Amino acid sequence: MPFAEREEQAAERGEVISLVLSCVMRILCGGVAQVTLGKGEFGKYLSINLGFGIGVTMGIHAAGGISDALCEYSDGHYIVTGPNGTAGIFATYPAPYMTLLGGFVNEFLATVVLMLCILAIYDKKNNGALEGTQPVITGLLVLVIGMTMGVNTGYAINPSRDLPPRIFTAIAGWGIEVFRAGDYWWWVPLVAPTLGSLTGALAYKLLIDFHNQTPLEGGDGKGKDDLQTNQV
């Protein structure tokens, strides 16, 4: 195939991928922006969780861009937290009543639950989900975690969910305050989900996987019969 044709096809694929990512960005960040900028008039907390759940089901994680609406909403100022704060559209921040330790525990436990359930969903040796339904069930899992544990911290449950958007907001106009807010909250979404995922995986391995090993090759029950015969 000539180089020019390969280059043209690559450009076409790039356009398709960009379109898909753009749609997913609207799903993931549009719900947060709608609720935040509309002060609850154009959506509630459920809208945010549904957006993230569907976004995970689609299997793509992305952060949204910034529009002039943010400037109009905050009177031209980029505010991190408070009634008119908009940085939370992109990264996660703890609720005003949350302590740093409480938020850490919340993120840790949420990620433990996430990892445990994901391993169970995709474990073919266990009573896992039917083939092809795993993305939908995983999306529902994220939805449930968000509705039950997300209000305290924004449920990052993944370092990549928080750090890249936080760096973006720091560059885009919100400044260094995105790292100072919440008593220097920025490191919690990095450390707590990492430890939580490791703990969840270890717990699943120790409590379930070790006790649910696949039979040995050729183990159709004959091995057990042979053992009984030898004992006789």
Question: 98: phi > 0 → left, psi -120 to 50 → alpha, else beta; which?
Answer: beta
Cβ contacts of residue 85 below 8 Å, gap of 6+? 36, 79, 93
Separation between Cα atoms, residue 209 and residue 126, nearest integer Å: 8
- Render pLDDT for 171-182 as a digit per residue (tens, 0 to 9): 877 788 889 888
Q: Distance between CA atoms of 49 and 145, rounded to whole angstroms?
A: 9
**Topology classification of domain 3-211:** Glycerol uptake facilitator protein (1.20.1080)
d(CA 111, CA 101): 15
pLDDT band, residue 157 (cuts 50/70/90): confident
Residues with Cβ within 8 Å of residue 197, at least 6 apart in sequence: 111, 112, 114, 115
Tokens standing for residue 197 = 């995922």
Domain boundaries, the chain: 3-211
Give the C-alpha separation, 107 to 23, whole Å. Answer: 27
For residues 189 and 8, the model is more confident at 189
Res 20 pLDDT > 70: no
Instruction: Give the mean model confidence (pLDDT) for residues 122-133.
Output: 78
Q: Does the predicted TM-score (pTM) go above 0.75? A: no
pLDDT band at 76 (very low <50, low <70, confident <90, very high): very low
